[in-house]
């Protein structure tokens, strides 16, 4: 059941007045995890627990509430696996909105590895692209990211401003002094000159390197890695928008990298891009899932987990 505290409806491009984003607390690792958000990941791991960690960005992290029930793909994966296995298992949400593969690598090495997962599921794409397309590329993404501290004062000033129910005024306030980190945080930590026609080869090599490093460390710790291709739905409202077409093309290239890494490292691969039908029933925008899409992703991943 959804927490008593609810946010307003999220007006996704393909679904308005359908889904809410529940306001949930975080756990001991700073992730939103479990039905209530604050389910801790115990360390050291209890000996009788089979632990699966889902690594990714917003498509892993985000929760939807729909008809008084709460959904995320890790929650759905846990439900499926518990129905199939009479074991003490847990599926943990280790997703953070806005993260690139470099962010995932650092967080994995400094934190997630300490949770001793038995399986690591990686579903990640899309967020690195803005760094690929930012001029003067650097493989650590320092050319396209800055510290939130440089712009935090805008959030502070925005918090002092009263809400005025006039769209024009709200637009100006959020442009200069953001009041909602859900929609503006990535912009606040981005820098550099974004060019839609920049070459992406160096970026893709960095993306491949980052995922490979995670795989290599997992192998040394006997952690099974399951990779998945990334879904992109060029829906009716996006199909004629140039930036969406560019992103779709690059995601196809990222998916080739994922397939290459799976073959190179002899890993299980979930080809979600081709397995999940591209329609409004499964997507709320070009990349994020409806509750039905979450269930499908969880189903296909569950088929690759043998306990």
Six token digits for residue 16: 């308005």
Residue 144 has pLDDT above 50, yes or no: yes
Contacts 24+ apart (CB under 8 A), 177-182: 178/154, 179/155, 181/155, 182/21, 182/97
Six token digits for residue 67: 């008809």
Q: How confident is the model at residue 301 (pLDDT cuts 50, 70, 90)?
A: very high
Amino acid 213: pLDDT: 98
Ordered strands of the 89-95 beta sheet:
89-95, 50-56, 119-123, 224-228, 268-270
Amino acid 147: pLDDT: 81
User: Is the overall model pTM greater than 0.85, yes or no?
Assistant: yes
Distance of alpha carbon 61 from alpha carbon 38, whole angstroms:
13
Residue-wise pLDDT tens digits, 24-43: 999 999 999 999 999 999 99
Residue 120 has pLDDT above 50, yes or no: yes
Residue-wise pLDDT tens digits, 284-300: 999 999 999 999 999 99
DSSP string, 33-92: BSTTSB----SSPPTT-EEEEEEESHHHH--EEETTEEE-HHHHHHHHHHHH--S-EEEE
Cβ(277)–Cβ(295) below 8 Å: no
Judging by DSSP bridges, how do beta strands 9-10 and 19-20 pair with one another? Answer: antiparallel
Q: How confident is the model at residue 165 (pLDDT cuts 50, 70, 90)?
A: low
- Euclidean distance between the first and the last CA atom of the chain, given in angstroms as a whole number: 28
Residue-wise pLDDT tens digits, 247-287: 999 999 999 999 999 999 999 999 999 999 999 999 999 99
Distance of alpha carbon 118 from alpha carbon 50, whole angstroms:
6
Residue 164 has pLDDT above 70, yes or no: no
Distance of alpha carbon 195 from alpha carbon 198, whole angstroms:
5
Residue-wise pLDDT tens digits, 46-91: 999 999 999 999 999 999 999 989 999 999 999 999 999 989 999 9
Amino acid 146: pLDDT: 86
The average pLDDT across 149-166 equals 64
- Give the largest CA-CA distance in the chain: 57
Which neighbouring-strand residues pair with 92? 53
Residue 161 has pLDDT above 80, yes or no: no
Residue, of 166 and 14, whose pLDDT is higher:
14
Amino acid 8: pLDDT: 80
SS (H, E, C) 3-18: CCCCCCEECCCCCCCC
Amino acid 168: pLDDT: 52
Residue-wise pLDDT tens digits, 1-23: 444 445 788 999 999 999 999 98
Residue-wise pLDDT tens digits, 168-184: 555 555 555 554 555 56
Q: How confident is the model at residue 188 (pLDDT cuts 50, 70, 90)?
A: confident
Residue 122 has pLDDT above 60, yes or no: yes
Residue 152 has pLDDT above 70, yes or no: no
Distance of alpha carbon 232 from alpha carbon 218, whole angstroms:
27
Q: How confident is the model at residue 199 (pLDDT cuts 50, 70, 90)?
A: very high
Amino acid 171: pLDDT: 57
Residue 141 has pLDDT above 70, yes or no: yes
């Amino acid at each position: 059941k959804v927490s008593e505290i609810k946010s307003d409806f999220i007006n996704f491009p393909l679904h308005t007045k359908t889904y809410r984003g529940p306001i949930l607390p975080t756990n001991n690792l700073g992730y939103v995890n479990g039905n209530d958000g604050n389910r801790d990941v115990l360390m050291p791991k209890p000996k009788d627990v089979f632990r699966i960690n889902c690594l990714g960005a917003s498509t892993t992290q985000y929760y939807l509430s729909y008809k008084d029930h709460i959904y995320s793909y890790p929650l759905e994966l846990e439900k499926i696996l518990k129905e199939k296995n009479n074991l003490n298992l847990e599926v943990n949400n280790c997703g953070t909105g806005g993260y690139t593969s470099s962010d995932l690598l650092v967080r994995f090495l400094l934190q997630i590895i300490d949770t001793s997962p038995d399986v690591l599921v990686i579903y990640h794409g899309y967020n690195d692209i803005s760094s690929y397309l930012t001029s003067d590329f650097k493989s650590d993404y320092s050319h396209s990211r800055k510290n939130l501290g440089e712009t935090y004062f805008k959030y502070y000033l925005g918090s002092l401003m009263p809400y005025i129910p006039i769209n024009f005024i709200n637009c100006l306030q959020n442009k200069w002094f953001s009041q909602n980190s859900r929609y503006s945080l990535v912009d606040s930590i981005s820098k550099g000159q974004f060019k839609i026609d920049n070459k992406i080869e160096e970026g893709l090599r960095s993306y491949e390197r980052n995922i490979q490093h995670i795989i290599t460390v997992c192998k040394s710790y006997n952690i099974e890695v399951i990779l998945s291709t990334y879904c992109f739905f060029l829906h009716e409202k996006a199909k004629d928008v140039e930036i969406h077409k560019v992103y779709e093309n690059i995601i196809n290239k990222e998916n080739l990298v994922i397939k290459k890494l799976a073959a190179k490292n002899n890993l299980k691969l979930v080809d979600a891009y081709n397995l999940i039908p591209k329609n409004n029933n499964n997507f709320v925008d070009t990349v994020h899932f409806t509750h039905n899409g979450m269930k499908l992703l969880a189903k296909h991943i569950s088929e690759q987990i043998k306990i």
